[in-house]
């Protein structure tokens, strides 16, 4: 008997690779035109599965995916030429590695979670609402061992957004710093509350009456009911004794909250926003113009003398690893609002757009996994 030739680092294990017989085509939710999800999305049955990967890429068999507000915002805002339609929708996913090209650190069979960046989607027409997703390895981490696939599906985009807003943009260190988190019950906000509290911050959060107990349970020290009064007006009328070290805006481009922030944000504090706001491309442009007008103008012309930072998720490999480690340690737990089966993506978007989703809206791609979850209250 002769020995097998040595494997190159990062090359697929031949025995494992034989266990993953890749299909030629797959089912995928494709964004085919501009408009709301009910018009823009179409479930197609014969979308090719990528077999030829570029160096540094993985092919992942998707178990579950999660929706993000940016998904429907771009569907409604971008014309076809800018969005390069048709393409597969979605960013977040969790699943199993089935193929790789020139990648170290991952093997076939590894459970992972990751996200498809907008730049990758533009080039490859890839998205996560499908059965097999092609993705850059630096946008993937091993799935934390303490997470179920349902929890892991919505980890990366929202969790990474919260991490970068807090630690990269606002440069939060903890140790008693005071942080205001706007829209604390959404996908990004639920992560941000937990992270800030785990870092030793005093956390103030904006909530609705329906989400008050959820956000307090995540660790918030005090809350504002934005249904009773706009949070910027409430804080301007009664500023806190100690101004905030940072404002983490998880809603997007609230120019009023920023414009009045001199009343409640430290002079060296940071206003960090996810952006863009919901609405049409013109509404978003108007909101952005208002926000940047306050940021760029000198004080005597009506400008706001507080630093403004907008989220940028590119080049986030190290932050993604740090996020996974934080979850693995138990400091942060993804909050799942609801779970839908793959054929019901339209219903999942309706839930997300309703404004009543508290945490992540998850779509189960793997039918067996959906059946396992059917006894839980999350499944729709």
Tens digit of each residue's pLDDT (9 = 90 or more) over 118-141:
888 878 889 999 999 999 999 999
- Please give the average per-residue pLDDT across 42-70, as a whole number: 96
- Is 36 exposed, middle or buried (CB count within 10 Å of its CB: 0-12, 13-18, 19+)? middle
Alpha-carbon span 79 to 59, nearest angstrom: 29
Q: Are residues 230 and 358 in the same domain?
A: no
Within a domain: 7: no
Answer whether residue 50 is part of any domain: yes
pLDDT recorded at residue 330: 97
Q: What is the pLDDT of residue 174?
A: 83
What is this structure's pTM?
Answer: 0.87
What would the pLDDT profile of 244-292 be if each residue is shown by its tens digit? 999 999 987 667 898 899 999 999 999 999 975 444 333 455 555 555 5
pLDDT of residue 287: 53
58 shares its domain with 174: no
Q: 174, 200 in Cβ contact below 8 A? A: yes
Task: Please state, in angstroms and rounded to a whole number, the distance separating the CA atoms of residues 94 and 111.
Answer: 8
Shared-domain flag, residues 146 and 163: no
**Mean pLDDT estimate for the chain:** 87
The mean pLDDT of 156-177, rounded to a whole number, is 95
Residue 6 maps to a domain: no
pLDDT recorded at residue 231:
94
Taking alpha carbons only, the member of 347, 326, 328 closest to residue 338 is: 347
By the 8 A CB rule, do 129 and 90 touch? yes
- 5 pLDDT exceeds 60? no
Whether 319 is in a domain gets the answer no
- Domain harbouring 233, CATH code: 3.40.50.720
- Give the mean model confidence (pLDDT) for residues 142-161: 97
**pLDDT number for residue 9:** 41
Q: Does 147 share its domain with 207?
A: no
Residue 43 lies in a domain: yes
Tally of domains within the chain: 2
Q: Is residue 239 part of a domain?
A: yes
Worst-scoring range by mean pLDDT, 21-30, 72-81, 243-252? 72-81
Residue 160, token pair as written in the block: 């990474």
φ, ψ of residue 355 to 5 degrees: the values are 85, 5
State the Cα–Cα distance between residues 310 and 200, nearest whole angstrom: 24
The percent of residues in the chain predicted with pLDDT above 70, rounded, is: 84
At residue 124, the pLDDT reads 86
Helix (H, G, I), strand (E, B) or coil at 237: helix
Structure tokens at 373: 């979850």
In a domain, residue 322? The reply is: no
pLDDT digits (tens, 9 = 90+) for 191-222: 999 999 999 999 999 999 999 999 999 999 99
pLDDT digits (tens, 9 = 90+) for 228-237: 999 999 999 9
Check whether residue 220 and residue 125 sit in a common domain. Answer: no
Alpha-helical regions (H) of the chain: 14-19, 37-40, 69-77, 80-83, 118-124, 149-153, 156-163, 187-198, 212-217, 231-237, 255-259, 281-296, 317-328, 345-353, 367-373
What are the backbone angles phi and psi of residue 188, rounded to the nearest 5°? -75, -40
Buried b (16+ CB within 10 A) or exposed e, 205-233: bbbbeebbebbbebebeebbebeeebbbe
Do both 276 and 145 map to the same domain? no
* Peptide bond connecting 86 to the previous residue in cis, omega within 30 degrees of 0: yes
pLDDT for residue 290: 56
Residues 292 and 306 in one domain: yes
Share of the chain above pLDDT 90, in %: 70
Lowest mean pLDDT among 89-93, 299-303, 313-317, 337-341: 299-303
Whether 288 and 170 map to the same domain: the answer is yes
Range of 18's domain?
Answer: 14-155+334-373
Instruction: List the one residue out of 352, 348, 329 whose CA is nearest residue 339.
Output: 348
- The reply to whether 177 and 36 lie within a common domain is no
> Is residue 46 domain-resident?
yes
pLDDT at 247: 97
Cross-strand pairs, 62: 95
**Window from 4-13, 14-23, 72-81, 98-107 with minimum mean pLDDT:** 4-13
For residues 267 and 184, state if they share a domain.
Answer: yes
């Amino acid at each position: 008997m002769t020995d097998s030739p040595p494997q190159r680092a990062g090359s697929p294990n031949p025995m494992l690779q034989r266990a993953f017989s890749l299909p030629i085509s797959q089912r995928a939710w494709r964004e085919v035109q501009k408009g709301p999800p009910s018009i823009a999305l179409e479930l197609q049955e014969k979308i090719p599965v990528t077999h030829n990967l570029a160096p540094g890429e993985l092919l992942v068999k998707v178990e579950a995916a999660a929706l993000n507000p940016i998904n429907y915002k771009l569907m409604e805002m971008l014309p076809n030429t800018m969005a390069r339609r048709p393409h597969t929708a979605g960013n977040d996913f969790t699943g199993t590695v089935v193929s790789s090209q020139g990648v170290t650190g991952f093997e076939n069979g590894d459970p992972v979670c990751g996200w498809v960046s907008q730049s990758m989607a533009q080039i490859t027409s890839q998205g996560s609402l499908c059965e097999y997703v092609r993705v850059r390895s630096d946008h993937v981490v091993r799935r934390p061992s303490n997470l179920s696939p349902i929890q892991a599906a919505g980890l990366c985009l929202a969790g990474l957004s919260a991490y970068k807003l807090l630690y990269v943009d606002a440069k939060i260190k903890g140790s008693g710093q005071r942080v205001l988190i706007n829209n604390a019950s959404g996908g990004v906000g639920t992560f941000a509350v937990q992270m800030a509290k785990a870092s030793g911050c005093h956390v103030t959060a904006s909530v609705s009456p329906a989400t008050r107990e959820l956000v307090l349970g995540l660790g918030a020290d005090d809350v504002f009911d934005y249904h009773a009064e706009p949070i910027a007006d409430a804080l301007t009328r009664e500023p806190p004794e100690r101004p905030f070290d940072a404002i983490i805006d998880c809603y997007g481009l609230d120019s009023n909250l920023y414009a009045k922030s001199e009343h409640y944000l430290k002079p060296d504090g940071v206003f960090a926003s996810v952006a863009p706001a919901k609405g049409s491309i013109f509404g978003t442009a108007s909101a952005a113009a208002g926000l940047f007008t306050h940021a760029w103008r000198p004080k005597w012309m009506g400008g706001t003398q507080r630093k403004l930072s907008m989220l940028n998720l590119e080049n986030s490999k190290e932050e993604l690893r740090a996020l996974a480690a934080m979850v693995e340690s138990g400091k942060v737990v993804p909050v799942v609002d609801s779970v839908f089966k793959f054929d019901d993506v339209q219903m999942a978007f309706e839930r997300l757009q309703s404004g009543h989703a508290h945490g992540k809206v998850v779509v189960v791609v793997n039918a067996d996994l959906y059946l396992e979850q059917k006894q839980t209250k999350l499944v729709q």
